[in-house]
Structure 1
Amino acid sequence: MIDRILKYLFFHQVIKDSFFLTNAKNDGIAFGINFSESFLIIFYFIIALIILALIIWFIKLWTGGKHLAASLTLLVILGAGSNIIDRIKFGFVIDYINLHIWPVFNLADMMIVGGILIIIYIDVVKNSFSCGYRP
């Protein structure tokens, strides 16, 4: 929800550009990388399938009592959902955090990357909860 509000404020220029905040339109994929239109159609279809799998996984984790894993999965789902709303509504994703050493990104991107990294850390490094796969 916070990401949606920030995107609205930047898109409508209620908040002006500053050193760390920039209104950027990302018509590529992650970090502004651009590909052909046919590749993007396939890419977005795969992303939709991944999000569907994450939703199913979230429900399985939550009902299995693994609330931390479920919450982190939900973080990824909500971040992806916010960016998908932009992509459908505008044809691009609104990015606004500019560190000048990395492509411009948004809170939803942080939710996606952060959720995935914490899941990997807890499951692989700490081995605190199982995602269901063990070699």
Structure 2
Amino acid sequence: MKLNKIHHVAIICSDYTESKKFYVDVLNLSIINETFRSDRNSYKLDLQVADRDIIELFSFPDPPPRPSKPEACGLRHLAFEVENIQESVDYLISQGINVEPVRVDLITGKKFTFFKDPDDLPLEIYES
């Protein structure tokens, strides 16, 4: 078996309207497709990141909360590459998003920082 690339990342949100606004209006992701699945009382929103990556945003009635912050087993965080970390930080702050102080990756020497989505999912921006 040969894996070619990551096809998509799936995120389950607790408040579909709030999360859709965050990912579309704040992070500026493009909507590929939006589907309401009445049998599940659930939305599935396919979002385009840049020109190739996909995030699937799901809503389900009463999803359980994350068991702990990023150190729980499983996916730790989702990272987005940006060209200019400071411009990206300034933009997020202008949108009312709390951003951690910028740090430097000791292995790569690249700048990065974290912020959270409406469900406290840790998101990272990493300078290219």
Q: TM-score range by the shorter chain?
A: under 0.3
Higher helix share: 1
TM-score normalised by structure 2 residue count: 0.26
Larger C-alpha radius of gyration, 1 or 2?
A: 1
TM-score normalised by structure 1 residue count: 0.25
Higher strand share: 2
Q: Which has the higher contact order (CA 8 A, sep 6+)?
A: 1
